Structure formats: C-alpha cells, structure tokens
Amino acid sequence: MPSSPESDTQATPPIDQAQPEIGELAAELERIEDRYKRALADLDNYRKRAAREMETRVAAAQEAIIGDWLNVVDSLERAVQMEANGPCRDGLSAVLEQMNSVLAQEGVHRIGAPGERFDPQRHAAIAVEDSAEAPDQTILAVQRSGFALGDRVIRPAQVVVARPPQSAG
C-alpha cells in the first residue's frame, strides 16, 4: 500500500529537528577519531620503546658474552707468553690468532696502545711514571688490553701513563 504524504513526514523528522542530532554525531565522530589517533600514537610509541629495549638487551647479552670470551683470550695470551720457546707455542699462538679473528668478525677491536693519548673513557690508569721522552698523559705501557665493540667500550685498557719528571726541589 502506498504511504500517504502525512505518514512520510512523521517517519522523517524535519530538517530543523535533525540539526542538533547531526551536531552531536559530528562531535561524537570527532571524539572517536581523536581516541583512534591517540591509540595509534600509543601503539607507535610502544613499538619504538619495545625495539629500544630489545636493542639494549641484545647489546647487554653481547657484551656479557664478549666479556667472558676476553677472559679466555687473556688466559691464552698468558699461556703463549709462558710457553715462549716451548713446544706448544705455535699451537697456542694459532688458537689465539683464531680467537682474535672471531672477535674482529664481531666488530670487537683492541684499545689502548703505547704512545696513544690517555683517555679515561677508554683506559684505566693503574700507574703513572715520570718520563722525559714521552709527552704528558700518553700511554707508556699496556698491562691488560682493552676492547671496544664499535664505539662502546667493553673493557677499558689497563695502562701506565706518562707524566713530566718531577724536579728535585
């Protein structure tokens, strides 16, 4: 049955009555869009934070493993020094070379060498000696090698640092 014109006007509110409802819906849509954008931003921040935490954990684990490996390298270096002319020297040296190669492949390099300028961020001064030949604050000797992974110091070098001779007064 066709509807009469009167029933059509009753089913659809007049435009004047719909305006406040449209405004309320637009405001609600704006609030929902704002919440959606905030949720996206929170998710993005969470992803970045999780990635940073993962990088930090991986770096810490890597440094711990390398630190343990360095203790073994130190022991092997001492064994090579003790076996200076002994029958095992060549074998020990070959193993030490292989271990150093593994460290290099992982991006680990030695820090601290005689003649370098002392840097307290990379070196630990275990002694200071008067020296007329070496410039002030340079490394005279390395007691234990230091190592870095990229720019991060894994273990500072233990060094003897030069200072100008003290005048007898």
Rounded CA-CA distance 10/160 in Å is 98
- Output the pLDDT for position 91: 92
Tell me how crowded residue 109 is: count the other CB atoms within 10 A of its CB.
Answer: 14
Q: Strand locations in the chain, DSSP E?
A: 108-111, 123-130, 139-144, 146-149, 152-155, 157-163
117-to-101, 120, 138, 152, 165 alpha-carbon distances in Å: 26, 10, 4, 18, 17
Q: What is the pLDDT of residue 14?
A: 61
Max CA separation in the chain (angstroms): 124
Q: In the prediction, which pLDDT does 4 show?
A: 53
Which pLDDT score, from 0 to 100, does residue 10 have?
A: 54
What sign has the CA pseudo-torsion 96, 101, 103, 108? positive
Q: What is the pLDDT of residue 61?
A: 93
pLDDT means per 10 residues, the chain with 169 residues, are 52 65 91 96 97 94 92 92 88 94 94 95 95 93 94 95 80
Q: Is 139 exposed, middle or buried (0-12, 13-18, 19+ CB in 10 A)?
A: buried
